């Protein structure tokens, strides 16, 4: 039934796609098409479907989930699965829609309608961070066991890379998966695991070899989190993104079949670096709409708030500052669209995705801080959405690779500079 539904949705979005609209100057950009030229009525249909779920099944519960420190991932994912958006670019045979990345762009932009950042993080981890390598390199058996039910919203996924002493330094992770017969025995621990308190499976990066360069000793493993020896030690309280459960998880003699390795053994580091491309790009794209919402909310507040007998927005300083911020946001949007177009054409977007992620993190902080200032004392209270946005925005310069790591990647790829 789910496969038939996915096929129907796929046809719904694909069959009526008109010929791609090209701008006259597109060919002068080396054939790279801006995503804006790819948006069609079908993208709008997807946006409307996502917005209905947000308005009915997510936003009414956001304040409750923020207070409780955890959203209901199984409920939310099931609702999103009903409109077919948990596997937008994933194969039809596993319940996906087999659409191009421009639909992921539309999806990520629409998620900014959620009234907090935490739930957005949890959704994108599930859709775009724990399944790319499984989709591209995993066996048919692993896809049937983990990818298909993830797309159907039956199970919740997470990514296990960071450790207490190894965040952005992925090469230094200590968790091991030692082969014993036909099994792997896993020992170690992971930190900062989004969805970790309620996830059913993890895309785990662990050392499966003891000798060799760090980038050839690691494997990605599909790990069911109900396996004996897996312990969710704690849910971590955070400054922002409070509705997103973030766990510390330990593994003690956890035994899983060796066939749960995704692709080739020893290639996990490479696969994870490829996953990071999509993770960083989708986060940057989502942040554009997130920042635009902050600006628009602030603009509306300044229109209503009167000081010295006239609306705040009459103050030219505020007008100019919001105009500056919107200009920066539009520049980031263009960078994200360009990277997305390159990704669709099969090009390596590591450098551009890193640039977009870097700019998104820094600009999110700037927009949140500047906008909050114009809300005055009210902006410093939990009654106003800008306070939550201010706290949530800070994460983007840390999660998925800190700003300093993005700078290092850019310097290396652009000029060949080593640390």
Residues 85-98 have a mean pLDDT of: 97
pTM: 0.89
Q: Does the pLDDT at position 67 exceed 80?
A: yes
Residues 316-322 have a mean pLDDT of: 98
Place of tokens 């919107």: 326
Share of the chain above pLDDT 70, in %: 91
Which part of the chain is CATH 1.20.140.10? 269-415
Q: Does the pLDDT at position 92 exceed 70?
A: yes
Q: Does the pLDDT at position 277 exceed 70?
A: yes
Q: In CATH, what number does 2-156 get?
A: 1.10.540.10
Average pLDDT, the chain: 91
Buried b (16+ CB within 10 A) or exposed e, 102-137: bbbbbbbbbbbbbbbbbbbbbbbbbbbbbbbbbbeb
Place of tokens 């996990």: 268
Query: Which of residues 5 and 144 earns the better pLDDT score?
Result: 144
Catalytic residue among 211, 279, 292, 347: 279
Question: What would the two tokens of residue 264 be?
Answer: 């080739």
Residues 193-217 have a mean pLDDT of: 94
> CA–CA distance from 209 to each of 177, 257, 314, 371 (Å)?
8, 16, 65, 50
**163 a catalytic residue:** no
Residues 175-194 have a mean pLDDT of: 97
Q: pLDDT at position 170, please?
A: 87
Contact 134, 146 (CB under 8 A): yes
Instruction: For residues 329 and 282, give the distance between their C-alpha atoms in angstroms, rounded to a whole number.
Output: 15
Contact 119, 62 (CB under 8 A): yes
Model confidence pLDDT, tens digit, residues 223-260:
999 999 999 999 999 999 999 999 999 999 999 999 99
Residues 326-335 have a mean pLDDT of: 98
> CA–CA distance from 12 to each of 4, 9, 46, 83, 407 (Å)?
12, 5, 10, 11, 41
Which part of the chain is CATH 1.10.540.10? 2-156
DSSP one-letter code for 397: G
Question: What would the two tokens of residue 104 be?
Answer: 């992921």
Q: pLDDT at position 214, please?
A: 84
Instruction: For residues 218 and 137, give the distance between their C-alpha atoms in angstroms, rounded to a whole number.
Output: 15
Question: Comparing C-alpha atoms, which of 320, 260, 312, 11 is closest to residue 137?
Answer: 260
Question: Comparing C-alpha atoms, which of 15, 17, 3 is closest to residue 87?
Answer: 3
Q: Is 246 helix (H, G, I), strand (E, B) or coil?
A: strand
CATH class of 269-415: mainly alpha
Residues 314-343 have a mean pLDDT of: 97
Question: What would the two tokens of residue 107 be?
Answer: 């999806």
DSSP of 33-85: PPGGGT--HHHHHHHHHHHHHIIIIIGGGHHHHHHHT---HHHHHHHHHHTT-
Residues 388-393 have a mean pLDDT of: 98
Which part of the chain is CATH 2.40.110.10? 159-266
Q: What band does 37 get if pLDDT is binned at 50, 70 and 90?
A: low
Q: Does the pLDDT at position 31 exceed 90?
A: no
Domain topology for 159-266: Butyryl-CoA Dehydrogenase, subunit A; domain 2 (2.40.110)
Q: Does the pLDDT at position 156 exceed 90?
A: yes
DSSP one-letter code for 188: E
Question: Comparing C-alpha atoms, which of 255, 231, 246, 233 is closest to residue 176?
Answer: 255
Place of tokens 């991932």: 73
Other C-beta atoms closer than 10 Å to the C-beta of 139 total 15
Model confidence pLDDT, tens digit, residues 2-26:
443 443 444 444 433 333 333 332 3
Model confidence pLDDT, tens digit, residues 93-125:
999 999 999 999 999 999 999 999 999 999 999
Instruction: For residues 206 and 189, give the distance between their C-alpha atoms in angstroms, rounded to a whole number.
Output: 10
Q: pLDDT at position 270, please?
A: 94
In degrees, rounded to 5, the angle at the alpha carbon of residue 246 between the alpha carbons of residues 206 and 239 is: 130
């Amino acid at each position: 039934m789910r496969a038939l539904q996915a096929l129907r949705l796929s046809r719904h979005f694909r069959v009526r796609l008109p010929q791609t609209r090209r701008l006259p100057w597109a060919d002068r950009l080396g054939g790279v098409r801006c995503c804006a030229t790819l948006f069609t009525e079908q993208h709008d249909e997807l946006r409307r479907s996502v917005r209905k779920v947000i308005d009915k099944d997510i936003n009414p519960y956001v304040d409750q989930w923020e207070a409780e420190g955890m959203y209901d991932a199984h409920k939310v994912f099931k609702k999103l699965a009903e409109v077919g958006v948990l596997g937008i670019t994933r194969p039809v045979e596993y319940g996906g829609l087999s659409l191009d990345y421009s639909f992921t762009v539309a999806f990520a932009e629409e998620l900014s309608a959620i009234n907090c950042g935490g739930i957005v993080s949890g959704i994108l981890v599930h859709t775009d961070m724990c399944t790319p390598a499984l989709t591209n390199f995993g066996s048919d058996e692993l896809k049937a066991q983990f990818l298909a039910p993830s797309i159907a919203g039956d199970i919740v996924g997470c990514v296990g890379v960071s450790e207490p002493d190894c965040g952005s330094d992925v090469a230094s992770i200590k968790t091991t998966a030692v082969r014993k017969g036909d099994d792997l025995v896993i020992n170690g621990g992971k930190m900062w695991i989004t969805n970790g308190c309620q996830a059913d499976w993890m895309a785990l990066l662990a050392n499966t070899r003891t000798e060799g360069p760090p980038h050839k000793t690691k494997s990605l493993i599909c790990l069911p989190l109900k396996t004996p020896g897996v312990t969710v030690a704690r849910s971590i309280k955070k400054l922002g993104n409070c509705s997103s459960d973030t766990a510390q998880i330990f593994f003690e003699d956890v035994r899983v079949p060796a066939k749960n390795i995704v692709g080739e053994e020893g290639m996990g580091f490479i696969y994870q670096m490829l996953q990071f491309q999509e993770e960083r790009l989708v986060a940057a794209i989502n942040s554009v709409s997130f920042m635009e919402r902050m600006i628009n909310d602030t603009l509306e507040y300044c229109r209503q708030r009167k000081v010295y007998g006239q609306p705040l927005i009459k103050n030219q300083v505020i007008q100019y500052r919001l105009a500056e911020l919107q200009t920066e946001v539009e520049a980031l949007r263009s960078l994200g669209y360009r990277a997305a177009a390159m990704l669709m054409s099969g090009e390596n977007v590591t450098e551009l995705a890193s640039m977009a992620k870097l700019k998104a993190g820094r600009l999110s902080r700037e927009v949140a801080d500047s906008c909050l200032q114009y809300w005055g004392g009210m902006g410093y209270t939990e009654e106003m959405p800008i306070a939550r946005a201010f706290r949530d925005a800070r994460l983007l310069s840390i999660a998925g690779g800190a700003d300093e790591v993005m700078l290092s990647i850019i310097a290396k790829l652009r000029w060949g500079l080593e640390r």
